[in-house]
Each structure stands twice: as structure tokens, then as C-alpha cells.
Amino acid sequence: MKLALLSVTDKTDLIPFAEALQVKGYRLMATGGTQRTLSEAGLDCQPLETLTGFDALFEGRVKSLHPKVHGGLLGLRDQATHQAQATAHNIPWIDLVVVNLYAFEHALKTPGLTDLERLEHMDIGGVALLRSAAKNHRYVTVLADPGDYEATLEAMDAMGDVPDSLRRTLAAKALRLTAAYDATLAYYLQPEPFPNHLTLTYKKVRPLRYGENPHQAAALYVDTSQDHGGLAAADVLHGKPMSYNNIQDAEAALAILHEYDKPCVVAVKHMNPCGIACAPKLLDAWQKAHAADPVSIFGGIVALNGTVDIRLAEAMHPLFLEVILAPAFTAEALALLKKKKQRRLIQTTSAAPSSHVQSVSIQGGLLRQQTDHTLYETLQCVTHTVPDAELLACLAFAFKAVKHVKSNAIVIAKDDQTLGIGAGQMNRVGAAQIALSQAQEHAQGAVLASDAFFPMPDTVEVAAKAGIRAIIQPGGSVNDHESIEACNRHGIAMVFTGTRHFKH
């Protein structure tokens, strides 16, 4: 008779699965709470202690760590010496293992727990069972996910036993689980962003229809070890699930939105803002953001940091927008915006981004850096013309915007509204010309923000011709004096931040 060992925290579908195993001739053995659950359901299930001869020790810390358990998992059934040792030590072969682990991730998110209380949720025996069974998967079926019970039973019905290919797949799944579990524990013990050995663990949320383009496969994963808020915690109130490009653009929009405290609206296309505006009322901010670039916003992503009411919904509804993200929608607004089936409505959390490290894959490796959460450390006016408090606020608005534009980047802004955005150009004066041409006559009296220093004074010259009043940029070029002299000739105020914001 085959032997199944069960030890689970998640008891989803446990009883019907165990019943099916018994029907198929398996003898059941289980640990503690799992054994009680099965016995109370009327199943014949032996406690693990009948095999080991030991009660659980140290308040349950040691239950399954025993030679009779791991010998029954690791022994090679086709080797005579292993068979002889198993017989000599009265070790039965274990043919199927059902294990899932203590919910350490849940303990991490549970408020009020001490460090010692959280560490009590570190699973030792379960991880060992999964690894032993996975190593010997030629003979042992290992199940770490209740979602695999049905497929396993169907394979048994169709083939008389679990086929080798499925056992190998299940073993790989179990090892991915233990790897993720260990990575979460290691990060909890020491949250080092740049360790010598980096193990990142994410859980698959869903496959995506495709990636950036239809010929690229893609999927969405979430970091389950921490509550990051943002898109990972957002609720889809209407429309199809977001695509790969939608998610990228929405993430960019939310990152920009978190820069501003006032009621704010951000419109994004291809991960670059096409309109950013703040105002005392969210409806006014929407109108300004739309007016900033009424062409590019078509088919874009819009994020707001306040409640979308019916008046705001009526203003947005006529326009084709792929995604609208907001922390709340009134019932009337939601009913109206839902009338367009292709539109996605996403309710976001208000939490600021908590991720402090970014990772980018490269061929054969990974780049990892601290997230750019700094706007600037200091402001230094370097020109004869000194900006007043109102102009400084306008410069800060523009610098917050240019921080999130692909380099080389220039932003023209006035009155808490972007007027022109030059993104992703190979030279800085080219980016300035694009931004100024978009702003047109509205550039008169506006401010200009640059993500990096001016290597020569040409950007100042084109800004002066357009009527720019003030400039904010990091400074740091060996030719800074040329740009400063040009500003002084034209009566333009210029402020250095000392902080560059390249974005690739």
C-alpha cells in the first residue's frame, strides 16, 4: 500500500483530496493539525508519531525532522542497499507528500508582532520535506499547492499513477516555493539592497495578453513579501485587465503624481508625461492638464490624486482615455465613465511608493540602483536676477515634472501647468526646441527645467528668444559660467539644484 504524508497550513480542498487518495489505495499519515482535521472528517489517518516514535518536541518546532521520515523520502527504491537499509531500520517508503508552509509573509504584514513572534512563523520541517521529496521526485510526488490536487488526481485516473513529467514539474514548483520562502526570510533578517547573492522573489498574478508588442509574451508578478501599495494593490473597477503598456504608463503616472501635494492630474503617453497640472480644485487641474497637450492625451493614461465626481467625469468622458486612475470615484461618476467598455477604471491606494531599489535586466545580468526619491538638496541662485518665492515655487513644479521625463529632458511650465515637454532627445538644445515649440507663445514669462546641466549656452539662448523668465537645472558643467553669463545678458534668473535626474 502506498503512503501519503500530509502536513499543511492551507487546508483548502484537503479533505476531498485525501478522500480520493484513500480510494486509490493510499495510506494516510499526517502531522498535528492536519491529522486532526482529517480524522475529524472521518478519514483513517495516522499521526506522524506512529512512524517516528517521538512526540513533537520544543512546542512543535521539531516534528518531521527524523530519519524515518526523510529516509522514507530520499531512499532510492531501485537500489538494493537502500532497500536493505530501509528494511533494517523499519523505514517505509513515502510515495506522496502534501506540504505547504507556515504563512511567514502573513506574519510580516500582521501589525503588533514582535521579532520573535514573527520568527516562530519560519517553517523548518515543511521546507525540509519539500526539498527531500523534490530531490527524489523520480519516486515521490510532491504537492505544495492545493491548485495542483485536481490535475494530480486526473493524471492518476488517466495513467494509473503520476507520470514522471508531472512529478518533475511539481518538484520544480516546490523548489521555487522554498527558494521564495528563504529569500523572504533572508530579506527580513537583513534587508540589504545590494547583497553578494541577490534572490528576488515574486508571485505570478496573471499572464498578460502580450508584452510591449503582440509577438512578445508577458506576465505580471507581485512582490508578496511587502505591502508596496500602488498598482499592486489597486482595484480594477471597470474594463479589461491592464496591458503591459498600460501598467508601465500607469506606474509612470503614479510616480509623477506622488511628487505633488496639491490636487493634481497627470497624463502619460509611452511613459512620458504629456500634461501635468495642479489647481485648488481637481476639475480645474484636469482642464489645465488636458490643455497642456490636447493632442497627445488622446488614448493616454490619466492619474488623479483626488475623488472623481460627476462634474469631473462629465469633463473626461468625451475623450478616449485608455486608463483613469484615482483613489476614489463617486457612484454617479463611475456609472458615467463605465459607459465606454474599452476604458479601464482603476482605484489606487493613497500610499506613496515604498520601493527603495530598482532593478533592470541586461543580457546575462541585472542592474540595480536606489530609486530616485530625491528632488534636490539645495537651491543656489547663480544669476544677478533672483527669483522670488512665487517664481521658486514655479521652478520646483517644473523640476518635479522634468525628473520623470526621459533624458535628455526639458519642461516648460507656468502657473502649476506644463506647457511643453521635450523628451528623450540626443541633445539638450533639441529637447528645449521641442518643448518651446509646443508651448508656443505661452512660453513668454514661463520657466524652463532641465534634467541635467547645460554643456553650452545654446539652451539659454533659445529660451531667451521664447521669453523664458527663469531656469532650473542641476549645474556642474565645466562651462557653467557661459550659461550664467548668457542668463545675465538676458535678465533670466537661473537656479542650480546640484541634483541630476537622468532617466533612461
Q: Write out the catalytic residue numbers.
A: 135, 270
Cα gap 294→321, rounded to integer Å: 12
Residue 232 DSSP symbol: G
The label of the residue with cell 495642479 reads: 278
User: Three cell numbers at 50?
Assistant: 506512529
| Residues 6+ away with beta carbon under 8 Å from 107 | 113, 117, 118, 121
Neighbours of 19 (CB within 10 A): 15
Whole-Å CA distances, 312 to 109, 213, 253, 300: 36, 33, 18, 17
Percent of the chain that is helix, strand, coil (3-state, to 5): 40, 20, 40
Cα gap 38→30, rounded to integer Å: 9
Identify the sign of the CA torsion 16, 101, 110, 203: negative
User: Three cell numbers at 491?
Assistant: 535678465
Cα gap 469→368, rounded to integer Å: 38
The closest of 254, 261, 298, 290 to 418, measured between CA atoms, is 290
Cα gap 110→229, rounded to integer Å: 16
